[in-house]
Structure 1
Amino acid sequence: MLFNSEIFILLFVPATLLVYYRLAAHNRPRQWCLIAASLLFYGYWDIRFLPLLFGSAVGNWLLLRWFARSGGGAGMHRSLPLIAVLFNLLLIGIFKYADFVAGTLAVVGLWSDEPIGIILPLGISFYTFQQISYAVDLHRAARDGKAVSVHGFREYLLFVSFFPQLVAGPIVRHNEIIPQFRLDPRRPGLEERLARGGMLFLVGLGKKVLIADVAARIGSPMFNRVLEGGTLNLGEAWLATYAYFLQLYFDFSGYSDMAIGLGLMFGFLLPINFNAPYRATSIQDFWRRWHMTLSRFLRDYLYIPFGGNRGGILVQMRNSFLTMLLGGLWHGAAWSYVVWGGAHGLAVGINGLWRHLGLRMPALLGWFCTMGFVAASWILFRTEDFAATWSIYQSWFGLHGRGGTTIDSPLILSALIAGGIAAFAGPTSQKFILDQLRPSRWVGLFAALALVGMILLIGGGLQSEFIYFQF
């Protein structure tokens, strides 16, 4: 079920909170309550996804439990975390990349043109990454001579399946979340956690419903026209670019706000995933602010193992390129994502070389260049088609006509203006809600009215899946 659906907001969340807090005094029952709710949430999409999620968790836990009981590295048992990593890669390789590989082989005549047709399970990229991080951390602890242990199956399954961040992150590490499962949710600060978590959820819902989905109403028809073989004039191309620029940010950061808010309502603090990325003044700065938990994963489990900052600037550039190339492939099983990731890897490497040479750039110019590159790369990210992307690039310079366009809807115009202000100025939603917002009856009244209004919009058909669900 969608976070931005009536059944989730009006039934699932209140019922889960009610049962969870009725069981608050009992650690095991309340954890099983969250597991049951998470599996219900996940199975609601497609019951066929559940066996893979559950089987993946069981397989990983058994391998890592075996490793821990062996003392963490005696004989053949030393390779068990690696086997767990390969097990995860095999699952994601089959279910996410089988058709991509088959299609690529078909191009060169090594496979039939008929797709394999494997359904992509929702959130598989996220929950496999979390389990890979668990296995690698366990291996590193054993390598460093530390005592290794694996959490019980109940806590491990909750770590993998916790519904707020199951299908689109944030990507959470076991040492960040599992210790919190044991905390009494009624501990001091309960009212504040519920209130601030609810407000952050509401802000995230507003980002999705009032900005992202509204921006999509003007941007998507233009992108679809190009994908169907049409063209855009100069004004349309820039409007479509700006609309998607906002749509993607507010769609994904809205989801992250909702996930973090939900976690807080249950008493858990999830890691921040966005920190005003559209204010970045370099591409390296951008990736420190955008999808921060993915950037952290890529750094710790790819970039550093590749060699990280060791070996000189050219080696660092190579490592950055390979890391972002694989990061692009993680986003989607298509060559367009590989090229998108490679472009960002090249940009990150050039940024590193620029700094290594001691060169400087005015902050405003750096911001302009960074946002220009990001906006250009989002076109390929959106179309997943090289010809359509090239056509829109041409339209940027008026090669398909220098005409303009108009925005007839006040709602769309307001969303584009408000989205730009929120993206480029003012405090981030997490900082404002979690640190700066002060309790007030008027704030509560406004929040209640806003929630009612957005539920009415959702009921009227203004809802869609989150973009990152496809990854």
Structure 2
Amino acid sequence: MLFQSQIFILLFLPVTLALYYAAAGSRTLRQIVVVTASLIFYAAWDVRFVPLLVGLTLLNWLIGWLHEADPKRDWPIIGVVANLAVLGVCKFTNFFAGSFAALLGMEYTPWDIILPLGISFFVFQKISYLIDLRRGQAHAYPLLDFFMFVTFFPQLIAGPIVRHNEIIDQFAADPRRAEVWENLSRGMVLFAIGAAKKLGIADYVSEVADRLFTAASATGGSSLAEGWIAAAAFTLQIYFDFSGYSDMAIGLALMFGLRMPYNFDAPYRATSIRDFWRRWHMTLSRFLRDYLYIPMGGNRGGGARQARNAIVTMLLAGLWHGANWTFVVWGGLHGIALAINGAWARTGLRMPALLGWALTLLFVMAGWVLFRAPDFPTAWTVLRGMTGLDGIGHVKVDHAVAFAIGAAVALVGPTSQQVALLKLRPIHWLAVPIGIVLLLLLLQSGSRTPSEFIYFQF
């Protein structure tokens, strides 16, 4: 059940909101509504994975209480290992077994393991809780609070990666408080903006990216025009796809009276690679910083150690994104870039902002080629094409309007959160154009087969 699908917008969401606000007077009842709806939402994808979601949630909740009862035994570490083991078996068994077999020159038949939807996100969410528990920065929560924290459907599949201390305390607040109508309206506007990003930009430019990357894989050649348009198409696709999802998720949460952390802040305007990671998938960046980079030593211990910590952190980030060596190399390249950025910063030299922006965007676009390509030969074909070594060529750019609007929105103007949550004023007549936009988006979602969000595969 996709956020932008008609069944979600016309049935699931209004029914869930109606039941939630009907039960708003009782914290227990409204939480039961949300947890039940969230499990139905997850089951709509594949009911076979509901026991895994419920079982892991119960295990982590139990570990919280065991730790409070016996803090001398390292229950949180046991929990972290258990979570990583589940993630490893589901996501990386075939990857590591296949890589090992290839190293030995052996044949390998992949096991029939289906990756549970959203497992990378809700495992990271639980790990952050367990580590905070061990640090004394968290405590055991009531079962219903913990279940709602983990399964809350807006962020269950692809984030943002919400920490316990960012949302659980909000469960006590009555959603019918004074700002209820503001929350509903601003949440709906942000949801509509996210849907427009996905349906009006990402889904159109994805057709160009898919066609050109498929052609590069099939023919082993890519001209200058094809290479750059392929890279630009995916650069826009992944941003508007994932930031669109995040806007929809944050907007949905706000309709329930809950505020989730932002996940994007105009990343393609970054003037350094450090700045980029402060703006791109911000909840993942904070997770990597707080639970990997800083515990390894962070910026302490000199430049060499800082570089090592950055590279190791980003290699693991790349591996988290997918069981493919292209993701690992993509992460490693970003780690090297962060290490170089750190070394440059320590010199005290300053780069002109425009030059920094251009270099950062070029590096990010080249990295997205590796991220998108199914294998190294395809990535090399597109990157080689971008250098012009295979000729200049020409290509018809379909959906040029989506390209132009996407580039403009990504590079100038306020962000979607600034528009919906800060700049928007309560003017009654705005309901009409927003309603028209939602209607057009509904018609658009029904006119073609809905496409999944890119980060659903992670």
TM-score (norm 2): 0.98
CA–CA separation in structure 1 for the residues paired with 2:30 and 2:191 = 22
Which residue does 2:58 correspond to in 1? 58
- Checking the alignment, whether the CA contact within 8 Å between 1:281 and 1:363 is kept in structure 2 is yes
- Checking the alignment, whether the CA contact within 8 Å between 1:102 and 1:111 is kept in structure 2 is no
Matching residue within 130, 150, 155 for 1:165 = 155
Matching residue within 369, 372, 379 for 2:369 = 379
- Checking the alignment, whether the CA contact within 8 Å between 2:83 and 2:123 is kept in structure 1 is yes
* Structure 2: segments with no counterpart, 5+ residues: none
Give a deviation string over 1:208-228, Cα, whole Å, max 9, x none. Answer: 000000111222111111122
User: How far 1:302 sits from its partner (Å)?
Assistant: 0.1
Which residue does 1:134 correspond to in 2? 129
Give the 5 Å matches for 1:92-131. 92-109=87-104, 112-131=107-126
Which residue does 2:437 correspond to in 1? 450
User: How far 1:112 sits from its partner (Å)?
Assistant: 4.6
User: How far 1:416 sits from its partner (Å)?
Assistant: 0.5
CA–CA separation in structure 2 for the residues paired with 1:49 and 1:368 = 44
CA–CA separation in structure 2 for the residues paired with 1:446 and 1:231 = 46
- Checking the alignment, whether the CA contact within 8 Å between 2:64 and 2:141 is kept in structure 1 is no
CA–CA separation in structure 1 for the residues paired with 2:271 and 2:306 = 21
Which residue does 2:294 correspond to in 1? 304
Give the 5 Å matches for 1:5-154. 5-70=5-70, 72-73=71-72, 77=73, 79-109=74-104, 112-141=107-136, 149-154=139-144
* Structure 1: segments with no counterpart, 5+ residues: 143-147
CA–CA separation in structure 1 for the residues paired with 2:105 and 2:53 = 32
Matching residue within 279, 283, 288 for 2:278 = 288
CA–CA separation in structure 1 for the residues paired with 2:297 and 2:178 = 44
Give the 5 Å matches for 1:146-225. 149-225=139-215
- Of 224-233 and 201-210, deviating more is 224-233
Give the 5 Å matches for 1:332-371. 332-371=322-361
Calculate the aligned-residue CA RMSD, in Å: 1.2
- Of 230-239 and 412-421, deviating more is 230-239
Identity %: 52
Which residue does 1:398 correspond to in 2? 388
Which residue does 2:318 correspond to in 1? 328
CA–CA separation in structure 1 for the residues paired with 2:377 and 2:139 = 52
User: How far 1:109 sits from its partner (Å)?
Assistant: 3.0
Local SS of the residue matching 2:295: helix
User: How far 1:462 sits from its partner (Å)?
Assistant: 5.3
1:438 is aligned with what amino acid?
R
Local SS of the residue matching 1:305: coil
Local SS of the residue matching 1:172: coil
User: How far 1:115 sits from its partner (Å)?
Assistant: 0.2
CA–CA separation in structure 2 for the residues paired with 1:26 and 1:441 = 31
1:37 is aligned with what amino acid?
A
Give a deviation string over 1:114-155, Cα, whole Å, max 9, x none. Answer: 00121000000000001001100010018xxxxx63001111
Which residue does 2:416 correspond to in 1? 429
User: How far 1:181 sits from its partner (Å)?
Assistant: 1.1
2:324 is aligned with what amino acid?
A
- Checking the alignment, whether the CA contact within 8 Å between 1:337 and 1:384 is kept in structure 2 is no
Local SS of the residue matching 1:306: coil
Are 1:418 and 2:413 counterparts? no
User: How far 1:110 sits from its partner (Å)?
Assistant: 7.9
User: How far 1:439 sits from its partner (Å)?
Assistant: 2.1
User: How far 1:230 sits from its partner (Å)?
Assistant: 4.1
Name the CA shift for 1:135/1:396 in 2 (closer, same or farther; >3 Å): same
